[in-house]
Amino acid sequence: MTDLGAALTGVVACGLAGALAPYVIRRLPEPPPDPEPEEGVELTAAQQARLEEPSKELYADLGRRTWVLPVSVAVSGIAGGLLGLVLGWDWLLLVAWPLAPVGALLGIVDWRTRLLPSIVVLPATALALLYGLGRWLGAGEPEELVRGVIALLVVRSVFWLLWFIRQAGMGFGDVRLSALLGLVLGYAGWGPVMIGIYAAFLAFGVPGLALAIARRDLKMLKRAYPFGPFLLVGALVGLVWGQTVADAIYG
């Protein structure tokens, strides 16, 4: 079943919210500079990777780039439209629709700076938790909230372990973002959780591997790339098609 009214509403509402991205990005606080390494102290792989990275683009400069506004509006509107089209007028849209412009903003910032500002991710996670609490108090059924919190803990634990094993390849911002997305996907069901996270790794890994093989440069696989945009794409896939795909696979 599809709902054209919800789809159109999602395109307009999320697209308009996405237009705020340049304004918000310009006002993000810059992260504190990394401390200078002490002489004679051996650097970890993560510290060495950070030293070799080019200087971070300032948020104020990124927010002024002319492409940010149309990209954010387009991505937010498309995501909102897909969510409305497939989910219809479901309560889940109250948390899924706001995630579209927030995700577009985070994807743009991470793609350009390899940072996912906690000042955006943590309040979004808190608001998503409030949605679950509201549904529990309003409907008197805690199952959705319990499933979402369990999914948050499981997904965040997996990403924390990946970050702990190889900090040079994954930032802690990805761990925070995985908690937010695990929570929202958990509200939708276990099918969206599994398919959404799997789709994120698939979207991240397959193009990179194909490009490394095409260029015959396997060293590309050892470089650090922003993972946040792929996590967000995977979450959208999970919310829109996750349950359908899971039902087709597992019956």
**pTM to 2 decimal places:** 0.89
Task: Give 3's Cβ-side CA count (13 Å radius).
Answer: 16
Distance CA 1, CA 101 (A): 25
Domain count, the chain: 1
pLDDT score at 183: 98
Q: 15-67, pLDDT tens digit by residue?
A: 999 999 999 999 999 998 766 655 655 655 555 555 556 688 999 999 999 99
The domain in which residue 147 lies consists of 4-250
46 compared with 171, residue with greater pLDDT: 171
183 to 53, 110, 156, 248: CA distances (angstroms)? 32, 20, 9, 23
> At 93, which helix (H) or strand (E)?
helix 93-113
